[in-house]
Amino acid sequence: MRNYYHHQLFPTCGQDILSATVAHKETFQRLVSASPRLRLVEMPGWAGLGGVRYVPEGWEQLMTDQAKEELNKLNMTLVEQLRSTDAAFSLGEGTDNLVCVRFGMVTAETDVEELLGLVVNVGKEVEESSKFIETMTEIVKKGIETATMDLQKENEERLWQEGILRHVPVFGSLVNWWSPPGKEGGIKGRSLNLTAGVVESTENIYRYHMQLQQGASSPPGSRSPPQPQVQTPVVPQHSRSSSHSSQGTPVVTTTTIS
């Protein structure tokens, strides 16, 4: 009796799901067409609700091979995160050989608008995460370039201040009499502060640590490191990346040339 019941129930449930999927397709296609970030993907032979592709705004004007590869990576990550919520999502591929989010069959009670909203929200999170990594990479790159330019400029200024006599083969005592060496010679280091998005000079930091090593009279913790003398912004409008990096311990990459 039990087997007979299951055999009779399965065709009925299957037919209901198939009918519900067909009925929801029109709503599905209409909502996707109205979304600024979703694109309907043609999937011949797929019995499910259909396929969509998440496309960040402006990407369709830059559909180079590299952009297509990045778009595939974004949608693959999107599917992975969606499957942790509902196994009905799966990875598909359209007739254009680009990856898409594939929707399975649904029931009559399924809220199609809610499912598409979930895809858009998760897609935005993946998109923002990708932009953040890209932004941080660009900041580090620009930080290294800025530090190199600062150090080169500082070295040129030092050569000018000391004069050319110090850099020609003349007796050292005579040169030192004409142009005494500075008390703090050498090129200062540079520190890239990812939290603030600036390149900072490090002479005050080194002087502070030297005082600590020499046994300064002030107790530990009573003084904070002095502010750097030179601060060069790496990129404008860094507030967005700063908010991300400030959630944890600030990361500082130090580049020192002496």
Round the CA-based radius of gyration of the chain to a whole number and report it. 31
Q: What 3-state DSSP class applies to 57? A: coil
Domain spans in the chain, listed from the N-terminal domain onward: 2-110, 133-211+225-255
Q: What 3-state DSSP class applies to 51? A: strand
CA dist 147 and 200 (Å) reads 8
The pTM for the full model equals 0.51
Q: Which fold has domain 2-110?
A: Aspartate Aminotransferase, domain 1 (3.90.1150)
Burial of 147 (0-12, 13-18, 19+ CB in 10 A): buried
Longest dimension (CA), the chain: 113
pLDDT in tens, the chain (258 residues): 333 323 333 455 678 888 999 999 999 999 999 999 999 999 988 989 999 999 988 777 767 787 888 899 999 999 999 999 888 899 999 999 999 999 999 999 999 999 999 999 999 999 888 775 676 567 677 777 777 787 778 777 766 666 555 555 554 454 454 555 555 555 566 666 655 566 676 666 666 666 666 665 445 554 565 666 556 665 544 433 333 333 333 333 444 433
